[in-house]
Structure 1
């Protein structure tokens, strides 16, 4: 094996492992500073922005530090720091330890990216490595149901981390003397590519985030095929000789993947533009890798500007989720895509040589990804039961905060354990995440459904990947997602209703909701709008009804009065009944309301910190 070939492979594998860990770091860092450093929706957004910038702005120093001869050690040092931080996270760090370990991991990963740009790692090899990282992340999300490395069990998490660490550190050691002369475009596009992939193309939960059960199995397979084809496109050197098609395509595909809505839910065809984006992102990087030669300082500055601007756009994208601003949220994602398109346009006219083994590698990758998808699809069905549905019925309502515990760790197993221990027939969930990068990019509903083997139904609120859900031992009928348009509230509230057919011939309507706050608290109009929806459901079917959810109001609040005029407070005899915060609860924010003809008993609030709320469990029967 020639030294040039060996160096090429070292560069590719190190770039793949480094960007894989960097994307994984972001999926820990973002939810850590919105759940541990502060609280999303409560802590001022300016505080989050300043805290984030404190870890990013100093990274500009990586440019001059990597330029001298002794700067050859900076990529290895930054990689070692990132690996050490990941080891701490993998070992179970939580609370402040998790927050700062994830900050260090993300900051070190970005410093590594700037350093390898300055040192001049071969752009083509690096672009292939980035494509491999995105395909590996997609494969991992398919195989685990969207659980990233840090939150996986020890038997899988440690081997994956160890392999990535060996490839990264070994590659950085092998490339320590590299002083290349590549262009700057790839490095400007690298961080935008990782963020765009984290937002859309690697987020498999988007393809499962429909309203009805079961989810479409083919969506994940399609995205897997796109990611594998992306590795082929990067190896090939792009799509066609001219990069204009690629630059336009990444903008158009991003628009369709992020702007498309059917009401507020993603349409069933959303997997197609997502899969195409998984293919186009690596192709765009391959074009950018062929830019004209630039000096080391310019390469480093390009990498730094790319990461700084793309992270700021990501922050703005999520600030718009909590704050009413005049710029539509998808515009920020389109600007990230535009940064990549501009980088692709700097390509030279020269073509890259395609190795003959490329097609074989692509086909093998496709087969692995499709097999993983088939395995996931086969394991998502609920357990069948022949027990007829009849009252009494045990219901659990729970704000799961995207599956993130009170200590900031993502742990769907802990949530499933709490739910399973209370043996509910129906589970009403709020703050359900289907792939929101700000909270880690996990599909918390699919993960709980797989663990509990229940039928799952979902309704988005103001964001297609964030809303309410119902898990049931039996299938529901007449499932209806509802939105509650409230002026002045950025995070628009929603609700989900479904009808449970009882064995005695009667029906029961179930409704779950989550009231959202403005700067002045929950608007009274939200409760009024919900009351109108409840009255509509009750009058339409003449069925008894149970409403549960997080109302962000205490029992004495007068804003609940319109709802109490049509439903009874099911928890009134059990108070005091504190549900928030879960470690030392002092407030009741979670409720159960019921219509005439029903009675409630066996009310309990299990002690757990699996979320920042405690669940409420109750048994319902016909009133006697």
Structure 2
């Protein structure tokens, strides 16, 4: 490998490692520090900002000690934290380990002037790896495969970091390199603009442009029909090539010098269009938002790729004198820019998801972040030279695009269920709030979650708090991962936005479905009621799944009334099962709305049946109701800490 490629390789591998850590750090803020809505959003934001205290000192350390020793020590700490997270038991240990990474980024910024090639390959590589794992993080997997790949990744990162020098290669190292362009006075210190955009680029990529889980959700919406308006269904098993197209478009745009009119006008407009479509919260627009954002983000990053054309490292006069950037004022400014960009990343993440606690519109976050990148691309100087040069880069980009396509073929959903023969006399129902797949220890353990559900021997599963791509939760398609483990097709209905809501999994064929958004009545988080019709071999059963959201200081009485009315209308005289996290106790007025509608408490024989919190159940807020004529029995709420709720299971005998 040529010496001039090593900084980009080290940065790309480091970006993959850092993204692995960030996908643990982000949900740990909620599940470990915040205990899922028990800590005010403002305090969560303050904790996230505290993440920067040590990183702010990195540029000072670089100036005093030199970039290379600081960068190598920081790389070692990042690598150690990455491996320790796989072995960590969760809890506070996991939270503190996941705070690693920013010092390495700031130290790297001190010497790498052109981060765009390395960053582009790192973002693309991380997205492809996530897709190959079905959007599950390698950090959480463990086992022989998880440990082997993790160790190889970390060793490659450390080797590339150690082999990278902080002296820019001159013409003697690469005689084919073109001459440097004259510095553009608008660019300021070399590389600062690009490093400032690293954080916003991570946010847009992880939230939308290079998020495999978002594409999974979008892809499943495409299987809705007139019988399933606004619902996402398990795809029919065919592989999608769209992730490969998105990766290819992103890399082609990011690593190619665009014409002035394309880089200043078209790419910023395309990126903004993708962000606006995403913020519109329209499920059928997610696919277009994904593609446009990937293409626009790559093109806008290319516009910021300024600096020396034959070496990615700093080569100011001071650098040439010291070889390590120790006296380079530009190095310190790049370090500050990198930390400042990641500050924007943290603020954007927390601001987007805090909206569900504080109740303000959050669509401005992706649009504003994309707007910042777009403005920088439109007003910045012309890039130094085409980035996509040499066979190594072309082949790497092609390989990543091909692997993204392979990922679509590897993770095929379960085939649709077939009608039972003979017709069942009873149906086993499980209702479970899965807290986006995270247990009380703060770890994503989908196997434990599947065991908790499967232990109830379910025919039908009603899920609440289903996440299909929230960046703050790590960007997983929890529904597809869980459905694959249970071997049950799904129907998903959006609630807070197109990738967060409720789902029904069924071993019986689903013949129709409908969702009804519920009025907020002052609650900050959106809610809906999902009705599906199951074919029990010549007889139909209506099932309704919901998750009520009480307004502050009140019970969800109005929403309960809406759901009860929707369910009885949807059933239209057919046997009905309704369940989910209803956030109401049996003696509360909201609970009475269901019995007033003529429904029967299916868990009455087992009362009190406390389900939350899972480690010390004190409240009865997860329920199942049935229509008269259905006979419930075998009620259980098995103890598990795979979520912050316990699942409830009940057998429903059909008349």
TM-score by length of 2: 0.87
347-356 or 332-341, larger mean C-alpha shift? 347-356
Matched, 1:60 2:51: no
The aligned counterpart of 2:531 is: 497
The aligned counterpart of 1:42 is: 38
The aligned counterpart of 2:66 is: 70
Give the Cα–Cα distance (whole angstroms) in 2 for the partners of residues 239 and 605 of structure 1.
62
Matched, 1:12 2:34: no
Matched, 1:391 2:425: yes
The aligned counterpart of 1:285 is: 301
> Deviation of residue 300 (structure 1)?
2.1
Structure 2 SS opposite 1:482? strand
Matched, 1:365 2:408: no
Give the Cα–Cα distance (whole angstroms) in 1 for the partners of residues 51 and 157 of structure 2.
22
Cα distance change on mapping 1:240 and 1:305 into 2, 3 Å: same
The aligned counterpart of 1:158 is: 147
Structure 2 SS opposite 1:36? helix
The aligned counterpart of 2:590 is: 559
Q: Is the 8 A contact 2:247 2:400 kept in 1?
A: no
- Within a 5 Å distance, the mapping from 1:42-121 to structure 2 comes to 42-103=38-99, 105=100, 109-118=101-110, 120-121=111-112
The aligned counterpart of 1:250 is: 271
The aligned counterpart of 1:483 is: 517
Give the Cα–Cα distance (whole angstroms) in 2 for the partners of residues 239 and 522 of structure 1.
58
- Larger RCO (CA under 8 A, 6+ residues apart): 2
The aligned counterpart of 2:191 is: 183
- Within a 5 Å distance, the mapping from 1:58-457 to structure 2 comes to 58-103=54-99, 105=100, 109-118=101-110, 120-123=111-114, 126-178=115-167, 182-209=190-217, 210=221, 211-215=231-235, 221-238=241-258, 243-245=263-265, 246-256=267-277, 258-262=278-282, 266-267=283-284, 269-290=285-306, 295-325=330-360, 328-344=361-377, 345-348=379-382, 350-352=384-386, 354-357=388-391, 358-377=393-412, 379-381=413-415, 387-457=421-491
Cα distance change on mapping 1:152 and 1:220 into 2, 3 Å: farther
Q: Is the 8 A contact 1:57 1:308 kept in 2?
A: no
Give the Cα–Cα distance (whole angstroms) in 1 for the partners of residues 21 and 276 of structure 2.
26
**Cα distance per residue 1:157-197 (max 9 Å; x no partner):** 22332233123222222235347983211101111111111
Give the Cα–Cα distance (whole angstroms) in 1 for the partners of residues 454 and 25 of structure 2.
30
**Cα distance per residue 1:465-486 (max 9 Å; x no partner):** 1111011001212211121112
Please point out which of 636, 651, 655 is paired with 1:604. 636
563-572 or 226-235, larger mean C-alpha shift? 226-235
Please point out which of 568, 591, 594 is paired with 2:600. 568
Give the Cα–Cα distance (whole angstroms) in 2 for the partners of residues 78 and 427 of structure 1.
46
> Deviation of residue 241 (structure 1)?
6.7
Aligned-CA RMSD value: 2.3
Structure 1 SS opposite 2:563? helix
Give the Cα–Cα distance (whole angstroms) in 2 for the partners of residues 133 and 224 of structure 1.
16
The aligned counterpart of 1:508 is: 541
**Cα distance per residue 1:387-426 (max 9 Å; x no partner):** 3443311111111111111211101111112222322111
- Within a 5 Å distance, the mapping from 1:579-598 to structure 2 comes to 579-598=611-630
Give aligned pairs, total: 601
Give the Cα–Cα distance (whole angstroms) in 1 for the partners of residues 13 and 305 of structure 2.
18
**Cα distance per residue 1:539-594 (max 9 Å; x no partner):** xx211211111111222222211211121111112112111111221221110111
> Deviation of residue 386 (structure 1)?
5.1
Q: Is the 8 A contact 2:272 2:293 kept in 1?
A: no
> Deviation of residue 69 (structure 1)?
4.6
- Within a 5 Å distance, the mapping from 1:522-533 to structure 2 comes to 522-533=555-566
**Cα distance per residue 1:86-117 (max 9 Å; x no partner):** 211111431121122112x2xxx222212211
Please point out which of 578, 591, 594 is paired with 1:547. 578
Give the Cα–Cα distance (whole angstroms) in 2 for the partners of residues 102 and 381 of structure 1.
38
The aligned counterpart of 2:326 is: none
Give the Cα–Cα distance (whole angstroms) in 2 for the partners of residues 219 and 315 of structure 1.
34
TM-score by length of 1: 0.91
> Deviation of residue 447 (structure 1)?
0.5
Give the Cα–Cα distance (whole angstroms) in 2 for the partners of residues 92 and 384 of structure 1.
42
Cα distance change on mapping 1:233 and 1:163 into 2, 3 Å: farther
Give the Cα–Cα distance (whole angstroms) in 2 for the partners of residues 278 and 348 of structure 1.
21
**Cα distance per residue 1:51-89 (max 9 Å; x no partner):** 111112442211221123534311222221111112111
Q: Is the 8 A contact 2:271 2:370 kept in 1?
A: yes
Q: Is the 8 A contact 1:90 1:150 kept in 2?
A: yes
Cα distance change on mapping 1:53 and 1:622 into 2, 3 Å: same
Q: Is the 8 A contact 2:556 2:584 kept in 1?
A: no
Cα distance change on mapping 1:360 and 1:299 into 2, 3 Å: closer
Structure 2 SS opposite 1:427? strand
Give the Cα–Cα distance (whole angstroms) in 1 for the partners of residues 42 and 58 of structure 2.
26
> Deviation of residue 500 (structure 1)?
1.4
Q: Is the 8 A contact 2:432 2:463 kept in 1?
A: yes
Give the Cα–Cα distance (whole angstroms) in 2 for the partners of residues 361 and 43 of structure 1.
44
Structure 2 SS opposite 1:295? helix
Gap runs ≥5 in structure 2? 170-188, 222-230, 309-315, 317-328
The aligned counterpart of 2:567 is: 534
Q: Is the 8 A contact 1:142 1:220 kept in 2?
A: no
Give the Cα–Cα distance (whole angstroms) in 1 for the partners of residues 150 and 80 of structure 2.
11
Structure 1 SS opposite 2:382? coil
Cα distance change on mapping 1:477 and 1:468 into 2, 3 Å: same
Give the Cα–Cα distance (whole angstroms) in 1 for the partners of residues 142 and 407 of structure 2.
18
